[in-house]
Structure 1
């Protein structure tokens, strides 16, 4: 059946490896190779470029990839609809989300959701803003939970997450009730990369402030560790700081700034499957109840 071949090819492209695709789909590597070869014979052109470090799609392979994904999505939609009519809620959901979401929100959301829909399979991908963009573009996730920083995706707002100043409990600014951006300029600062927290960069850009950057770090936990060691202060979303120990002081900015957290959807793909719609609706209900 071509659907199996399409899924094999899609998975090979996503993983960049015939072996990894076989492991993910519970096939042998020769099985995957045979399905790809069968598609190439049927279409009359190569789909993959074999390289030393894996495989990648040819130009023609990329051209047919979107159509294969549309067929797979249509089949999933049909299967879930039929199962729903027969009283069985099934499906597969792929969620991409920021670290702050996966560590603080998703465990409780998934626990409650699975209680209601035990036969719906869920995959979670943890990433930053750039990675969510890529996964949505390449159809590797059904939706993301993050912040809006472009107009490529449909954005459904969930809640506002304040940006906070964090510092070692012995830092010279720790006695202040709130921290101004001008005060931040006067001390060593640990700056997140823009692909992780573009909101922090926007704060300084709008205020025309040049922080005294001692370190630039990608990774929220690394930033918190460096602040704990008194290597500088930083700005991070409040949601990330729920589990910080007492040796980290958390202070509000003098002028509060928020990042808007929401659901990101690629509307170019058309209608979502019933299971994805259920999950998105459930997340909206959960956040209204818990924030």
Structure 2
């Protein structure tokens, strides 16, 4: 196959010398490979001159076929790598805390039962962090709120109710549903999820202004602060599952949800193990 690649590279660079530099050969080796190819095909493919190289009519006619051979060979090598990758691949995921705590452990466990040699690398951050990690290639894919996300493919997985979170002795704790406007009176603990804040989105939508006293980046810290009576908050239902804190959660009136989506840049170029895990996630959560 080297003679085919040498021919293509010589045409792309317009020079045997440049082709040799890019392929890691000597100029004479490239010249010899192309001469061998011409001998095999019984045709002169290239004419050399002081200004560079040009294709002969036979070379121009055969060039598409030689490109096709090179592309098919590359695809064959990639497929072999992919088959090996599913047995020993690394899957890098960006996730926010509720997904990394309540979804991913079971997903990883079930996937590793089928593919025990696959390894996981989990990066935890806010929506903006995760979006940037995907774009720069630090992670293969991630979980995001698609609102405000651009230049990425997003696939909706679930909607997650946003709930009011109160201390046990709070006056609103006795209500079945808490009016949103009444959540503007107490000190509010705002969860900072990068450039997107679901709580602020809710308040802004209805033209209310919360009494923000704290900006916190961790859901569980907020729950602990509420338990101590430092304020109230609005958090997603998913993170409140198996809650270890003595707090009260209530539906909000009017209700509001966040969307949890899967995001990636280009699934076609992801490692095979990663693509299989994405499909595994979609099968799991699109059934619910």
Matches within 5 A, 1:208-223: 208-223=207-222
Aligned to 2:161: 162
Mapped to 2, the partners of 1:288 and 1:165 lie a distance apart of 27
Mapped to 2, the partners of 1:78 and 1:144 lie a distance apart of 29
In the TM superposition, what is the alpha-carbon distance from 1:176 to its structure 2 partner? 0.7
Matches within 5 A, 1:127-206: 127-149=125-147, 150-195=149-194, 198-206=197-205
Mark the runs of 5 or more structure 2 residues left unpaired by the alignment.
Answer: 1-23, 25-74
Mapped to 1, the partners of 2:99 and 2:82 lie a distance apart of 29
In the TM superposition, what is the alpha-carbon distance from 1:288 to its structure 2 partner? 3.4
Does the 8 Å contact 1:196/1:218 carry over to 2?
A: no
Does the 8 Å contact 1:80/1:91 carry over to 2?
A: no
Aligned length: 214
Mapped to 2, the partners of 1:194 and 1:110 lie a distance apart of 24
Structure whose CA Rg is larger: 2
In the TM superposition, what is the alpha-carbon distance from 1:253 to its structure 2 partner? 0.6
Mapped to 1, the partners of 2:232 and 2:205 lie a distance apart of 20
Aligned to 1:28: none
TM-score for the superposition, normalised by structure 2: 0.68
Mapped to 1, the partners of 2:224 and 2:245 lie a distance apart of 13
Mapped to 2, the partners of 1:188 and 1:142 lie a distance apart of 39
1:85–1:173 distance in 2 versus 1, CA, 3 Å: closer
Mapped to 1, the partners of 2:206 and 2:84 lie a distance apart of 58
CA offsets per residue over residues 21-75 of structure 1, 9 Å max, x none? xxxxxxxxxxxxxxxxxxxxx9xxxxxxxxxxxxxxxxxxxxxxxxxxxxxxxxx
Does the 8 Å contact 2:131/2:144 carry over to 1?
A: no
Mapped to 2, the partners of 1:86 and 1:164 lie a distance apart of 45
Aligned to 2:40: none
In the TM superposition, what is the alpha-carbon distance from 1:286 to its structure 2 partner? 1.7
Does the 8 Å contact 1:167/1:249 carry over to 2?
A: yes
In the TM superposition, what is the alpha-carbon distance from 1:100 to its structure 2 partner? 0.5
1:174–1:197 distance in 2 versus 1, CA, 3 Å: farther
Does the 8 Å contact 1:129/1:196 carry over to 2?
A: yes
TM-score for the superposition, normalised by structure 1: 0.68
Computed over aligned residues only, the root mean square deviation of the Cα atoms, in angstroms, reads 2.4
In the TM superposition, what is the alpha-carbon distance from 1:89 to its structure 2 partner? 3.1
Does the 8 Å contact 2:191/2:216 carry over to 1?
A: yes
Does the 8 Å contact 2:90/2:120 carry over to 1?
A: yes
1:108–1:78 distance in 2 versus 1, CA, 3 Å: farther
